[in-house]
Structure 1
Amino acid sequence: MGTLWYGGQIYTLEAEYEKVEAVYVENGMIEAVGDYQTLLAKFKHKVEKKINLQGNTMIPGLVDSHLHLIGHGEKLLRLDFSDMNSSEEILQAIQRKIPFLNKNEWIIGEGWNENQLTDRKIIHRTELDLIAPDHPVLLKRICRHAVIVNSKALALAGITSDTLDPSDGVIVRDHDGTPTGYLLDGAQELIFQVTPNVSADYLKNALKTSIEDCYEKGLVGGHSEDLAYYGDLEKTLTTFEEVVNHNRKFRTNLLAHHSIIDELHSKNRNLGLFVELGAMKIFADGALGGRTALLSSQYKDDPETNGVAIHAKQELVGLVRKARSYKMEVAIHVIGDLAFEWALDAITICPPQPGQNDRLIHAQILREDLIERMIGLPIVLDIQPRFVASDFPWILDRIDEKKIKYCYAWKTLLEKGIACAGGSDAPIEPVDPLLGIHAAVTRKSMYDNITYYPEQCLSVFEAVELFTKGSAVVIHKENERGIIKEGYVADFTVFNKDIFTIPHEEILTTKVSMTVVDNTVMYENISRQKQEA
């Protein structure tokens, strides 16, 4: 017995702006698409349920190709600074939290970004000491490549003026050599090692909270990297297995950080129908916000550095070789152009097996020669269009404008035939895919509403493809996901507006009417429920 979907704009994405009147589904798979009356007549003895879209717009289910699901849930549950506009506002939020805590309990907050603060200030440890002397404080920057901590947290981690910078990070210091509390990339690990371990219940609550929010934003799945950050691999795997497969259908592909690969492959785990293991994750560099993305030239606003290499070049080759020993693809975090170059070198030296492809994540700062070199290689770029909105104009202070032509150059990449998938990197950026689609189409900064490099704007169709076909291609699911077509999974995102025809600015006010996974309605807008009634 099956379900007949009809009564709205149904875009298949098989061809540009192609629409059908109806979709017939059995056992979570699309059996046929076409005219409503034709399908009704053909399957009249099998149609058990008819769902009227009531004029809403259905597209293939949106999938975020790069996020941190548990981390996104943590951001929703913790202090969230991502919408705060001054350092004083952040300090006040911390102060309001203190009366509800036990003595010595950690205060952990997420999402501060000095570039959106009116005072553009990086808070000093002494300011945190004044308001929270009895609590270790940990404030994670929006990029998660930098943190600010207070003196109590530094003391717990044993960080003093005599502590040397790790090879993959920086302990920022005052003029006298005293740590300021601002730690970049690998230096963060010194703090993370002394933060309390989280419970299984905490992880489950964070993941449930995250997935529920993803449903509300129209996401049917995501490629998530969480496995190495919560102290116990088995506990984290069990969290995904139990939460996703028990009443929360969500197409989940898990990237695995290189540090836990040996342990992961020592297990023989069946994670259920909706969870699968993906590529091995490697960080090649840091982030632009803290000037730790690895560039081929010095930073425009800090000529003393060109960023941080998380691994020496030969170490990076060794990690790719390790993945190949397990017949795995790699997913390499590369923001700077030198990091990207090293990643290409490593993949060239240790190519994937026939039929496999690696993914290079972010790919923000590129050069023409790197783009040309990629053409024809088994590589998919995992891009985050929302970074255009959040990084401009301050990125122009970091990167010489003469070199910006091939940075954030999504249109150029697609025109060169380079496969791209679309994600958010939540909790770094908001998980809402409509924000990513809008950013890809308009390239407008959230700070000044200026369109930056309009020649790189995508069409709405191209932007939606990133989160549908692109997310399917990168994990070899292009023959079963990302299109509304016979033989494909019945995963749908339904909007209250036709995002392909409305003015681009209306994309931001579009609402999700339904999110459907495996032909199961996982989220339905209350206003639509009232219409049905």
Structure 2
Amino acid sequence: MILWTNATFYSMEDCLLTYDKVLTNEGIIVALGNDTLKYSNYQTIDLKGSYVFPGFSESHLHLIGYGRKLFSNNLKLDINKESVLAKIKKFYKNEKLLIEGYVNIGITKDDLDLISSDNIIILRHNDYHSFTVNSKVLEMLNIKNSNGIILDDLVSSKITKVWESNDKVMLTKITDYAIKDLKKLGFTSVHTDDLSYFNSYDETIEILNLLSKTNNFRINTLIHHSVLDSFIKYYPNNKLLNPIQIKVFYDGTLSSKTALISENYKNSNNNGKRYITDKDFLNLLKKARSLSKGLAIHTIGDLAFSEVIKLLSLEKKASEMDRIVHGSLASDDLILELENIAIDIQPHFIKSDKEVIRKNINHQTNIYPFDKYNKKVIINTSSDAPVEDPNPLLNMYELNNISRFDMIKSYTINPYLTINKKGGLIKEGYYADFTCFDKDIMKIEKEELLNTKVLYTIIDEKM
């Protein structure tokens, strides 16, 4: 047993309930406050006056992709064309060149060909759904395109296969790096979508299984519908690795004008795309229910959101909750209908999509109505890393219209409610996972969040 002392422990059952000490045993909380005095024969660990919360969960990211971002050449959203081209030239070493963090500022294949037309050059756009490539890539993949700017998701999927081409050793290395970085940010668990993007399901699940153990880190894997049969055949038995909802894409993105919205995009006869038919969606939903699983549906446009909610109502709920990934736009009428669902929100998108929305969206539907969602359903705050920075304190800083208590809930109890696991509260019977800060993030002013540090990340009783 371990007695954790000299700290303020926020239970997260309400905003006021705190304890001065917590006793844990074999990874589970067994006593709180004065109840710990009933026990003896324990190790004591001094948390040095820190402010302790249930272990934080990042509820929607791409773990391996985040690791690759940390290792990659990155333009860091530079929007000066001359500066961007200069950086690309500097990155180029007479071999295949893959670059992240590119904002679509009009660079074309002709610009990239001046750097090299003999070796592959791929710029991944910051929406992580589109690319700009040189002629070499177009020729190699037999893509008919006049300028090398690839916004169509079906064409992008061909380039993704080239982009994701890494051997197992490298994938393991970058994933390990990502986990260590996330632990420094205070995360004790993640909900991640990785299993269909790399060399194979079997190899990817083997990497995650290994690294969850060597890093003592909780990895909850979304099951992309394309690998569902592989998942049914095999999934490792590991208390730190947990299969959660089945992932499916219903529509696209705002930047590529493929998110399905209720009116046409500005200067366009297009209102987005459906990536799955009603028939296929319902077949997948029935299969998920037969496995007692929920769906995790990439849904960005308001029309997509409305259609998804209607389709979900045609089958009984599973014991595992359905979740909407993003939910960027929604009508008031739809929000009133919402119940028994989780929404994975990304506050960073408010800033990063502001210009895209101004240029592309005509109608006056609710845009990122996170405060309205919070009154109706479970919200989980996330980053969609590598798309955005996963640092939870930055997300708290960005989102002002939700109380600090509710923001912290969206990183603690809410992700665990979404997956039916006993984490996210400092309460008897719950995981001995804690995130320890040097300041009281429940009470400090907004500006102080940016100067707050994680002192300790504790997972399964291990610091």
Residue 249, structure 1, aligned to residue 239, structure 2: no
Residue 384, structure 1, aligned to residue 346, structure 2: yes
Match of 2:239 among 273, 281, 284: 273
Residue 106, structure 1, aligned to residue 106, structure 2: no
**What corresponds to 1:175 in structure 2?**
none
Distance 2:129 2:413 in 1: 30
Identity of aligned residues (%): 32
Residue 93, structure 1, aligned to residue 35, structure 2: no
**For residues 139-158 of structure 1, what are the structure 2 equivalents within 5 Å?**
139-158=123-142
Match of 1:358 among 317, 322, 328: 322
**What corresponds to 1:510 in structure 2?**
452
Instruction: Return closer, same or farther for 1:343/1:131 CA change in 2, 3 Å cut-off.
Output: same
Paired letter, 2:457: T
Q: Is the 8 A contact 1:64 1:422 kept in 2?
A: yes
Q: Is the 8 A contact 1:358 1:379 kept in 2?
A: yes
Distance 1:351 1:270 in 2: 28
**What corresponds to 1:328 in structure 2?**
293
Q: Is the 8 A contact 1:220 1:492 kept in 2?
A: yes
SS in 1 for 2:48: coil
Q: Is the 8 A contact 2:255 2:356 kept in 1?
A: no
Match of 2:336 among 353, 372, 375: 372
Q: Is the 8 A contact 2:108 2:147 kept in 1?
A: no
SS in 2 for 1:350: coil
Q: Is the 8 A contact 1:154 1:181 kept in 2?
A: no
**What corresponds to 1:28 in structure 2?**
27
- Cα deviation, residue 85, structure 1: 3.9
Residue 197, structure 1, aligned to residue 182, structure 2: no
Residue ranges of structure 1 left out of the alignment (5+ in a row): 115-120, 162-177, 443-456, 522-533
Distance 2:227 2:30 in 1: 40
Deviations 1:280-333, CA, capped at 9 Å, x for gaps: 10001111122221101112x333221222223333333323333444321100
Paired letter, 1:473: L
Deviations 1:38-82, CA, capped at 9 Å, x for gaps: 63x432x3222x222222211111001111000000000111223
Match of 1:472 among 416, 419, 427: 416
**What corresponds to 1:171 in structure 2?**
none
Q: Is the 8 A contact 1:186 1:310 kept in 2?
A: no
Residue 131, structure 1, aligned to residue 93, structure 2: no
Residue ranges of structure 2 left out of the alignment (5+ in a row): none
Q: Is the 8 A contact 2:164 2:197 kept in 1?
A: no
- TM-score (normalised: structure 1): 0.83
Instruction: Return closer, same or farther for 1:231/1:351 CA change in 2, 3 Å cut-off.
Output: farther
SS in 2 for 1:235: helix
Deviations 1:145-189, CA, capped at 9 Å, x for gaps: 11111110111110125xxxxxxxxxxxxxxxx243333322111
- Cα deviation, residue 91, structure 1: 2.3
Q: Is the 8 A contact 2:223 2:245 kept in 1?
A: yes
**What corresponds to 1:409 in structure 2?**
369
Match of 2:406 among 448, 462, 470: 462
Distance 1:211 1:200 in 2: 16
Q: Is the 8 A contact 1:245 1:273 kept in 2?
A: no
Instruction: Return closer, same or farther for 1:512/1:194 CA change in 2, 3 Å cut-off.
Output: closer
SS in 2 for 1:213: helix
**What corresponds to 2:381 in structure 1?**
422
Q: Is the 8 A contact 1:156 1:194 kept in 2?
A: no
Aligned length: 463
Distance 2:126 2:372 in 1: 27
Distance 2:135 2:290 in 1: 43
Match of 2:261 among 258, 272, 295: 295
Q: Is the 8 A contact 1:316 1:343 kept in 2?
A: no
SS in 2 for 1:371: helix
Distance 2:24 2:289 in 1: 39
- Cα deviation, residue 194, structure 1: 4.5
**What corresponds to 1:4 in structure 2?**
3
Distance 1:159 1:424 in 2: 32
Q: Is the 8 A contact 2:263 2:363 kept in 1?
A: no
Residue 47, structure 1, aligned to residue 42, structure 2: yes
Instruction: Return closer, same or farther for 1:181/1:387 CA change in 2, 3 Å cut-off.
Output: closer
Q: Is the 8 A contact 1:295 1:307 kept in 2?
A: yes
SS in 2 for 1:131: coil
SS in 2 for 1:474: helix
Cα RMSD (Å): 1.9
SS in 2 for 1:349: coil
- Cα deviation, residue 83, structure 1: 4.5
